[in-house]
Amino acid sequence: MSEKTFAGNYFEDFRVGQVIRHATPRTITEGDVALYTALYGPRFAINSSDSFARALGLPRAPVDDVLAFHIVFGKTVPDISLNAVANLGYANGRFGVPVYPGDTISTTSTVTGLKENSNGRTGVVYVNSVGVNQRGEVVLDYTRWVMVTKGDPAAPTPEPVVPQLPDVVPADSLVVPELAIEQYDRVLAGSPFGWNDYAVGERIDHVDGMTIEEAEHQLATRLYQNTAKVHFDQFAANSNRFGRRLIYGGHIISLARCLSFNGLGNAFTLLAINAGSHANPTFAGDTIYAHSEVLDSFELPGAPGLGALRLRTVATKDHPASDFPYKVDGRYHPDVVLDLDYTVALPR
């Protein structure tokens, strides 16, 4: 057999400090934006209308922040998580300059931690990934950790290294957009509520649900050039403990973000991903609901017309999210599929 194909890296192939320059830079097109809209139905005005964005001083409508996240993430999959069991979590994520159709995104990752699991067959790989545009400007800088199988269970166990990550991205390290925010039109944005209208501890049931279709989640994952086997190969999935293809966790992030528009319609841009967990797997046919809690509210330095909310959005499957017991005996309820802690900007 030819040895020209690549089967992906296994846990024992990674080394702390290893730098991986990922292949296939991706130029984002208006077609990508249209397909993303068809898949999730985002309604944030700044991403939907060139004239709305221009009124705020931008050259045109930027792409949805989560679409930019997916493109950056997708570059890493062939090298980091092709042999993943599951993507586990995120931390210390900072969004940078806006991304526009026509921008070309590329990604580089650094391995920051390794910890073999007690079963000796898998291990957790921590990577810091940085996506940049064609000018070298950072569009996203974040850490994730992923459980990866060992190709050889007898391979030596590395010394465990777990990076220290902040609980919250500090306000003074956030990249705040420069906008003519006084021109922000709340009628066109679809919500009357600004930063001052939200209180710490407030909970918002986003009410609506979206059912995941088999074709949609595979189309979405291909859109990001995410090649992880667990999402596509049913023959291989027959031997996993579920017997089914798993939904890409980022698909749930997009669904939760789009559902959050009903209640957070003026939370128009993501500034940070503080933490996130894919608590349980999701499958085609599941219906996703979302509920948000305001964890913190603070001013943004140098942006007098804006304020920031730190939000916790929890997505559930086949279970409306209001007054839901997220954890039982210290463990996530099996219907919780996403627990995401992130920071958004809103007009005051």
pLDDT value, residue 144: 96
Cα separation of 36 and 219, whole Å? 10
pLDDT value, residue 240: 83
Convert the pLDDT of each residue in 202-223 to its tens digit. 999 999 999 999 999 999 999 9
Give helix 30-40 / helix 249-259 axis angle, nearest 10°: 80
pLDDT value, residue 2: 60
The dihedral through the CA atoms of 276, 97, 311, 313 has a sign that is negative
Q: What share of the chain is helix, strand, coil (3-state, %, to 5)?
A: 25, 30, 45
Which DSSP category does 211 fall into? Answer: E
Domain ranges of the chain: 11-154+178-347
Q: From the CB of residue 122, how many other CB atoms can be counted at a distance below 10 Å?
A: 20
Cα separation of 91 and 166, whole Å? 7
Cα separation of 30 and 63, whole Å? 9
Residue ranges for the chain with pLDDT beneath 50: none
How many C-alpha atoms does 146 have within 13 Å on its Cβ side?
A: 29
pLDDT value, residue 85: 84
pLDDT value, residue 1: 53
Residue type present at position 197: D
pLDDT value, residue 12: 94
Query: Which CATH number applies to 11-154+178-347: 3.30.450.20, 3.10.129.10, 1.10.3720.10, 3.40.50.2300?
Result: 3.10.129.10
On the 0-12 / 13-18 / 19+ scale of CB atoms within 10 A, 155 is middle
Cα separation of 250 and 66, whole Å? 8
Give helix 65-80 / helix 30-40 axis angle, nearest 10°: 100
